[in-house]
Structure 1
Amino acid sequence: MLPSRKNLLGSLALFTLLGSARAQDPCALIAGNKTASFHDAMACLDHFKYDKEIAQQTVDTVRKVTNELYVFNDVAASPPTVEGLALSPVNISYGLDLILQEDWKSDRQFQESVALLLDKVQDAHLSYSPFCYRQFIFWQPIQLNALLRNQKLIINVAYVKDDVWPQASKDWVGCEVTEIDGSEAMDMIVNYAVNNNGESKDVNTCFNHIMNTKSYFHGWDDGADDLGYHRFLPAQEFHNYTMRCAKSGTLPIQEEYDAPFTVQVPWIAQVPPNYSTADDYWSTFCQSAHQLNRNTTKRDIHYDLHELKNIYEGEVFALDSEGRSVALNAVGSSKGPYIEFIQLEGEYKNVGVIDIQSFSIASGDRQTFVDNFISSLKDFEAKGVEKIILDLSTNGGGDACAGEFLISTLFGSTPDYPSDIKYSPFLDRVIQAAHEQEQTKWLDYKSTGFEGSNWYTNTTSYVRGKNPNVKFSQPISLSCDGWADTISTKKYTNTKWKPSDVLILSDGRCGSTCAIVASRLRVSHKVPAMGLGGIRGNRMQFASFPGGESDRLSSFLIDLEVLGLANDPDAPSPFPERADMGWTFREVYKPTEKFTGVETDLLEYSAINADCRMHFDDNNADDIKKLWADVAKVFVAGQCPLIEE
Structure 2
Amino acid sequence: MTFVPRLLLWSSFVLSGIFDSVNARPGPRPSLLNRRAANDTGRPCGALFDIIEEDLKLQFFPVFNASDVYSCLTAVPFLKDVGLRFIEYYNTTLQFQSTLAYLESPPAEYQQPAVDVVAELGRVKQKVLDDQYIRQLDFEYDIHSIVHAIHDDHVNLYIGITAAFSFASPFDFVSASLDGKALPRIYLKDDIVKARNNGWAEEPSPVATINGVDATEFLAQFSSRNAFGYLESHADWNDMFEHPTNDIQGFYGTLGGQLLFYPGNGLDDTFNVKLEDGTEWNDNWLALLNQIHSPGPLETAGDFYNYFVLGLVPPVEVIEDSSDSGLVFDFEGEDGLKLIEIKIDTDWLEESDEAFPKPEVAQPFLTISGGGVVTGYFQDDVGILSIPTFEQFPEEAKNFSNTVQEFITKAEDRNVKKIIIDLQQNRGGSPNLAFDTFRRFFPQEPDSLPWTWAGSRRRSHPLGDLVGDTITEWWKGLDPEDDVQLFDQWDEAANEFVVATKINPLTNTTYDNWAQYSPGSASYRKDTFSKVERLNLSDDQVLYSAFSIETVEDDPYGYGGNPVTTKQAWKPEDIVILTDGLCSSTCSLFVGFMTQAGVRTIVAGGRPETGPMQAVSGSRGTRAYSNHILDWMFQFTGQLLPDNSSLPNIPIDYETRDTGLWIHHAGLNLRDEILKSDWEKDPNAEHVPRQFQYEAAHCRIFYTVRNIYNMTQLWSDVAKAAWTDPGLCVDDSTGYAKLPNQPAPVPAPTRPTAQDAQIVINTTTTRGGPGQDPDGVPIFNEGDIVAGFAVKRAGLEPCGAGDKCPSNSMCEPIKVVCANGERPKAAEAKYCLPLCKPAVDTCAHFASDVKINGALRCDLRYEAVTKSRKHDFVGLCAPREGIKPQNLCPGRPTA
Q: Taking structure 2 as the reference length, what is the TM-score of the superposition? A: 0.57
1:603 lines up with 2:603 in the alignment? no
CA contact (8 A) 1:136 1:319 kept: no
Instruction: Determine the structure 1 residue equivalent to 2:351.
Output: none
Residues 334 and 262 from structure 1, CA distance in 2 versus in 1: closer, same or farther, beyond 3 angstroms? Answer: closer
Residues 324 and 474 from structure 1, CA distance in 2 versus in 1: closer, same or farther, beyond 3 angstroms? Answer: farther
Residues 122 and 133 from structure 1, CA distance in 2 versus in 1: closer, same or farther, beyond 3 angstroms? Answer: same
Structure 1 CA distance, aligned partners of 2:704 and 2:413? 33
Residues 182 and 587 from structure 1, CA distance in 2 versus in 1: closer, same or farther, beyond 3 angstroms? Answer: same
Instruction: Determine the structure 1 residue equivalent to 2:631.
Output: 557
Residues 570 and 562 from structure 1, CA distance in 2 versus in 1: closer, same or farther, beyond 3 angstroms? Answer: closer
Residues 580 and 532 from structure 1, CA distance in 2 versus in 1: closer, same or farther, beyond 3 angstroms? Answer: same
Instruction: Determine the structure 2 residue equivalent to 1:266.
Output: 284
Cα displacement string for residues 206-228 of structure 1 (whole angstroms, at most 9, x for unaligned residues): 111112225544538576xx233
Structure 2 portions without partners, runs of 5+: 1-39, 56-61, 192-201, 315-325, 341-367, 478-487, 554-561, 651-655, 739-743, 745-895
Identity of aligned residues (%): 17
Residues 214 and 363 from structure 1, CA distance in 2 versus in 1: closer, same or farther, beyond 3 angstroms? Answer: closer
Instruction: Determine the structure 2 residue equivalent to 1:446.
Output: 503
1:79 lines up with 2:106 in the alignment? yes
Q: Superposed, which structure 2 residues align to 1:565-580 within 5 Å? A: 565=639, 569-571=648-650, 573=657, 575=659, 576-580=661-665
Q: Compute the displacement of 1:474 (Å).
A: 4.1
Rg larger for: 2
Structure 1 portions without partners, runs of 5+: 1-18, 161-171, 246-257, 293-314, 328-332
Structure 2 CA distance, aligned partners of 1:320 and 1:115? 31
Q: Compute the displacement of 1:610 (Å).
A: 0.8
CA contact (8 A) 1:26 1:40 kept: no
Q: Superposed, which structure 2 residues align to 1:538-549 within 5 Å? A: 538-544=611-617, 545-549=619-623
Q: Secondary structure at the match of 2:87?
A: helix
Q: Which amino acid aligns with 1:184?
A: D
CA contact (8 A) 1:129 1:581 kept: yes
Which of 219, 222, 237 is 1:192 aligned to? 222
Q: Compute the displacement of 1:353 (Å).
A: 1.1
Q: Secondary structure at the match of 1:156?
A: strand
Instruction: Determine the structure 2 residue equivalent to 1:624.
Output: 711
Structure 1 CA distance, aligned partners of 2:412 and 2:166? 45
Instruction: Determine the structure 2 residue equivalent to 1:418.
Output: 455
Going by fraction, where is helix more abundant, 1 or 2? 1
Structure 2 CA distance, aligned partners of 1:318 and 1:375? 30
Instruction: Determine the structure 2 residue equivalent to 1:179.
Output: 209
CA contact (8 A) 1:338 1:358 kept: yes
Q: Secondary structure at the match of 1:529?
A: strand
CA contact (8 A) 2:372 2:400 kept: no
Q: Compute the displacement of 1:179 (Å).
A: 2.2
Residues 25 and 377 from structure 1, CA distance in 2 versus in 1: closer, same or farther, beyond 3 angstroms? Answer: same
Cα displacement string for residues 46-78 of structure 1 (whole angstroms, at most 9, x for unaligned residues): 3432122221221112100112x1111122122
Instruction: Determine the structure 1 residue equivalent to 2:567.
Output: 494
Residues 474 and 491 from structure 1, CA distance in 2 versus in 1: closer, same or farther, beyond 3 angstroms? Answer: closer
Which of 238, 243, 256 is 1:213 aligned to? 243
Instruction: Determine the structure 2 residue equivalent to 1:52.
Output: 80
Structure 1 CA distance, aligned partners of 2:419 and 2:519? 43
Structure 1 CA distance, aligned partners of 2:591 and 2:248? 18
Q: Superposed, which structure 2 residues align to 1:19-418 within 5 Å? A: 25-31=46-52, 32=54, 34-67=62-95, 69-82=96-109, 85-100=110-125, 101-102=127-128, 103-130=132-159, 132-150=161-179, 151-152=181-182, 153-159=184-190, 174-214=204-244, 216-217=246-247, 219=249, 226-230=254-258, 232-236=260-264, 237-238=268-269, 241-244=272-275, 258=277, 260=278, 262-271=280-289, 274-278=294-298, 288=311, 335-344=370-379, 349-411=380-442, 412=445, 413=447, 414-418=451-455
1:582 lines up with 2:667 in the alignment? yes
Q: Secondary structure at the match of 2:716?
A: helix
Note the aligned Cα RMSD (angstroms): 3.7
Residues 334 and 178 from structure 1, CA distance in 2 versus in 1: closer, same or farther, beyond 3 angstroms? Answer: closer
Q: Which amino acid aligns with 2:65?
A: S
Residues 23 and 611 from structure 1, CA distance in 2 versus in 1: closer, same or farther, beyond 3 angstroms? Answer: closer
Residues 133 and 326 from structure 1, CA distance in 2 versus in 1: closer, same or farther, beyond 3 angstroms? Answer: farther
Q: Secondary structure at the match of 2:177?
A: strand
Structure 1 CA distance, aligned partners of 2:111 and 2:171? 29
Q: Compute the displacement of 1:363 (Å).
A: 1.7
CA contact (8 A) 1:366 1:486 kept: no
Structure 2 CA distance, aligned partners of 1:538 and 1:37? 39
Residues 461 and 618 from structure 1, CA distance in 2 versus in 1: closer, same or farther, beyond 3 angstroms? Answer: same
Q: Secondary structure at the match of 1:227?
A: helix
Structure 1 CA distance, aligned partners of 2:722 and 2:700? 11
CA contact (8 A) 2:249 2:369 kept: no
Residues 339 and 461 from structure 1, CA distance in 2 versus in 1: closer, same or farther, beyond 3 angstroms? Answer: farther
Count of matched residue positions in the alignment of Structure 1 and Structure 2: 562
Residues 503 and 20 from structure 1, CA distance in 2 versus in 1: closer, same or farther, beyond 3 angstroms? Answer: closer
CA contact (8 A) 2:223 2:240 kept: yes
Instruction: Determine the structure 2 residue equivalent to 1:519.
Output: 592
Q: Which has the higher contact order (CA 8 A, sep 6+)?
A: 1
CA contact (8 A) 1:531 1:612 kept: yes
Which of 499, 503, 509 is 2:582 aligned to? 509
Instruction: Determine the structure 1 residue equivalent to 2:533.
Output: 475
Instruction: Determine the structure 2 residue equivalent to 1:252.
Output: none
Q: Compute the displacement of 1:79 (Å).
A: 1.8
